[in-house]
Amino acid sequence: MADLRVEIAGVSFKNPVIPASGAFGFGHEYEKLYPLSKLGGISVKGMTLNQKDGNPPPRIAETPMGMLNSVGLQNPGIDYFLEKELPYLAGKETRIIANVAGSTVEDCVTMVKKIEGSAVDMIELNISCPNVKQGGAAFGTSCESAAGITAAVRKATTKPLMVKLSPNVTDITAIAKAVESEGADAVSLINTLLGMRIDINSRRPVLKNNVGGMSGPAVFPIAVRMVWQVANAVQIPVVGMGGISSAEDAIEMMMAGASAVQVGAAIFTDPYAPVKIIDGISSWLDCKGIASVKDIVGTVQPW
């Protein structure tokens, strides 16, 4: 049987499949279906410094080959996670990635300091959130702001730091290089693409927030392209996500340069998707006579 183990920023994972933040909550619902220990890791629900109710509904909408969401980071806050959810997850024999987001650098720094002495294995810094001190532009949309928040968070924690990149930029490789230069140990991409749908009868957007993040199979080719570009631009590990729905998708993403993958929207149509993808990768590697999943990373051969 092929070796599915991978390593990201010094953290070993039993396999390369991680449910993405926002798609898996804190794992309670899914543990009724399979042991969480089957997963390489879990990127938990994105957390803010304080409890957040999120955006008003409607905040989820279907699209062809995907979905739009403007949930707005509804979450119970970092203290609740550390006190109530982390003790539960820490005993599940899987890696725990704490996804954090804030509207100021100070909020993010405060959160990672709280996480520092905990059982969290890795921090995933979501830089797609608006920076309220810079006119509301997302941290991840300029090299300067992406580098700035990465540098501040890097100084505040010794935990492995993975920065989650926004695709809503002109050149994602420039952003990746910027966060790498300020101490990011890994990058994950892509976050959702900004999208919109309109109800032609009411002439109003289908989401109360007007726009939302698009995910699902329709974004997969864009994600593969961006992962390939970033993997060839930085020296740190890349975790790929965006529309992965099958083992074949995961393998393709890893061939583009991802050391591991995150699975998000697919879980809403099939809660067993992460486990099926793990098993499918293993079967494919065995069929091809490949000893380790690490042997396929970055092996695409461009024309």
Is the Cβ–Cβ distance between 157 and 181 less than 8 Å? no
0.95 surpassed by pTM: yes
Q: Give tens-digit pLDDT for 53-99.
A: 999 999 999 999 999 999 999 999 999 999 999 999 999 999 999 99
d(CA 205, CA 192): 18
Helix (H, G, I), strand (E, B) or coil at 150: helix
Q: CA-CA-CA-CA torsion for 29, 261, 193, 204, nearest 10 degrees?
A: -20
The pLDDT of 26-54, averaged and rounded, is 97
Per residue in 249-300, pLDDT (tens digit) is 999 999 999 999 999 999 999 999 999 999 999 999 999 999 999 999 999 9
> Percentage of the chain with pLDDT > 90?
95
pLDDT (tens digit per residue) in 164-205: 999 999 999 999 999 999 999 999 999 999 999 999 999 999
Q: How far is CA 97 from the centre of its chain?
A: 9
The closest alpha carbon to 301, from 258, 256, 259, 235, belongs to 256
Neighbouring residues of 141: CB distance < 8 A, sequence distance ≥ 6? 166, 168, 169, 175
Buried b (16+ CB within 10 A) or exposed e, 112-128: bebbeeeebbbbbbbbb
Work out the end-to-end distance of the chain between its first and last CA atoms, rounded to an integer number of angstroms.
32
Indicate the DSSP class of residue 176: H
Structure tokens, 46: 């994105």
Q: What is the pLDDT of residue 130?
A: 63
pLDDT for 246 beyond 60: yes
What is the pLDDT at residue 259? 98
Q: 170: which residues sit within 8 A by CB, 6+ positions away?
A: none
Tokens coding 235: 């020296």
Indicate which CATH number applies to the domain containing 130. Answer: 3.20.20.70
* C-alpha–C-alpha distance, residues 47 and 123, integer Å: 11
Query: What pLDDT shows up at residue 131?
Result: 56
- For position 136, what pLDDT does the model report? 59
Residue 107 placed within a domain = yes
Please report the DSSP string for 98-121 in residue order. Answer: EEE--SSHHHHHHHHHHHTTSS--
Residue with structure tokens 């300029």? 142
Per-residue pLDDT reduced to its tens digit, 125-159? 999 876 556 665 689 899 999 999 999 999 999 99
* pLDDT at residue 235 tops 60: yes
**CA dist 86 to 16, 31, 52, 121, Å?**
21, 15, 18, 11
219 domain-assigned: yes
Helices 172-181, 143-156: axis angle to 10 degrees equals 30
| pLDDT value for 122 | 98
Report the pLDDT averaged over residues 200-213.
Answer: 97
Q: How far apart are CA 75 and CA 51, in angstroms?
A: 6
How many alpha carbons lie under 13 Å from residue 294 in its C-beta half-sphere?
Answer: 9
Residue 97 located in a structural domain:
yes
Domain count, the chain: 1
CA 203 to each of CA 3, 55, 182, 206: distance values in angstroms, whole numbers, following the listed order: 53, 20, 45, 9
Q: Provide the residue range defining the domain that includes 210.
A: 6-296
264 inside domain = yes
Q: 293, 15 in Cβ contact below 8 A?
A: yes
- State the pLDDT at residue 107: 96
| Crossing angle of helices 172-181 and 220-231, rounded to 10° | 50
Q: Kindly list the catalytic residues.
A: 129
- Asked if residue 302 is part of any domain, the answer here is no
Quick check: is 61 in a domain? Answer: yes
Is 210 within the bounds of a domain? yes
- Residue 303 domain flag: no
